[in-house]
Amino acid sequence: MKNLIAVLALFSASAFAAPFDKGDAKAGKVTHDKQCAGCHAARFNGDAGKIYTRADHRVKSPASLAQMITTCNANLGNNLFPEDELNLGAHLNGAFYKFK
């Protein structure tokens, strides 16, 4: 919960910039490939990107993306810092969701 608040605070601080603008997408991709892709790929026949692009995917806004990253970070035992979550947001938004 603390992480979610921190991410939302970072997010609202940049409300006038593109979502996750302050995140480092490259660093986010490294974290994603290490910590996130395996579990998602296991659920979608080895295709880690599918979870974000499936027709009924859940994330519909930058805020719900931030929330989902925090939820999945909790699955991992909350071992990521708010900056990591912001970087993950930059990567996932740039590569998949494309929120403006």
Dist. CA 25–CA 78, nearest whole Å: 20
Residue 67 has phi, psi (to 5 degrees) of -65, -40
For residue 95, the one-letter residue type is A
Binding mask 40-59 for ligand HEC (x = CB under 6 A): x--x-------xx----xxx
Measured from the CB atom, the residue of 16 and 52 that comes closer to ligand HEC is 52
- Which residue among 7, 86, 88, 90 contacts ligand HEC (CB under 6 A)? 88
Q: Check: CB of residue 30 under 8 Å from CB of residue 88.
A: no
Site stretch for ligand HEC (CB under 6 A), options 3-11, 13-21, 35-43? 35-43
Q: How far is the CB of 27 from ligand HEC (least distance, A)?
A: 13
